[in-house]
Amino acid sequence: MPSLELLNQKKEKVGTISLNESVFGTEVNHALVHQVIKAQLADRRQGTAKTKTKGEVRGGGRKPFKQKGTGNARQGSTRSPLLVGGGQNFGPQPRSYAEKTPKQMVQGALRSALSDRAKASRLIIVDKISFAKPSTQAAKKMLLETFKLEKTLIVSVADNNIELSIRNLKGMRVLRTEGLNVYDIVRHEWLMITQDAVKVIEARLGTEK
């Protein structure tokens, strides 16, 4: 099992922690990570773009001119896609861009992303993060001054004080364990996880060898 130093909020070593190899020590599958991120971003698309067809554009209820004798091409409506102000053929219509991704694939991609951060020495495990009250200043002192981090994803169990303290810091993002996802791991340079959160993640993603 891979093991890391266990730090406190002051960046002091308070022990070591053994990590589940099936979660933090697997071979990184870059293709799987890419596929899951692609699906995750596709799910965020609203798909609300829409153009009006001939039948939806207002007006055009009567034939604009007689069928024969004018020299013009015959027309049945001024809202034809061939005319200015007419409808549009084959334009975008509301749709869902969601891609169905099997649960096993998402879990595999999460293991790969976590293992990649561990192998790159971009994973920090802290015994706990605790703020007496919401304080952006306290969070800034811990993350920017003590740990000297930039673009960091912090994963913890539910704690409003942590979330309210860190959410206004540029480049920092806080997620609860249930919200952990591949895209946010990959887009941040550093990953900081509390000891309690590690146990939850390992219980969720761990596999029997």
- pLDDT tens per residue, range 159-194: 899 999 999 999 999 999 999 999 999 999 999 999
d(CA 60, CA 76): 8
Residues in the chain: 209
Per-residue model confidence (pLDDT) at position 208? 55
The residue from 35, 61, 91 where one domain ends is: 91
Q: What is the pTM of this model?
A: 0.82
Same domain, 115 and 159: yes
Closest Cα partner for 180 from 127, 105, 107?
107
Same domain, 165 and 102: yes
Same domain, 140 and 192: yes
Same domain, 74 and 156: no
d(CA 87, CA 56): 7
The residue from 91, 111, 146 where one domain ends is: 91
Q: Residue 14: phi, psi to the nearest 5?
A: -115, 5
Same domain, 132 and 118: yes
Same domain, 12 and 111: yes
Q: Residue 35: phi, psi to the nearest 5?
A: -65, -40
Per-residue model confidence (pLDDT) at position 177? 94
For the chain, residues with pLDDT lower than 70 are 1, 208-209
Same domain, 104 and 178: yes
Same domain, 138 and 201: yes
Task: Tell me how crowded residue 120 is: count the other CB atoms within 10 A of its CB.
Answer: 12
Token pair recorded at residue 94: 């509301």
d(CA 146, CA 162): 16
Question: In this structure, are residues 168 and 136 in contact, taking their beta carbons and an 8 Å threshold?
Answer: yes
Per-residue model confidence (pLDDT) at position 60? 83
User: Three-class SS of residue 92?
Assistant: coil
Q: Which amino acid is at 152?
A: T
Which structural domain, as residue segments, surrounds residue 65?
Answer: 51-91
Q: Strands (DSSP E) along 3-102, which ranges?
A: 3-7, 13-18
- Token look-up 């609860």 returns 176
Same domain, 60 and 156: no
Pairing type for strands 3-7 and 13-18 reads antiparallel
Same domain, 142 and 197: yes
Per-residue model confidence (pLDDT) at position 59? 87
> CATH number, domain at 166?
3.40.1370.10
The residue from 91, 120, 148 where one domain ends is: 91
Same domain, 159 and 201: yes
Same domain, 110 and 75: no
| Number of domains present in the structure of the chain | 2
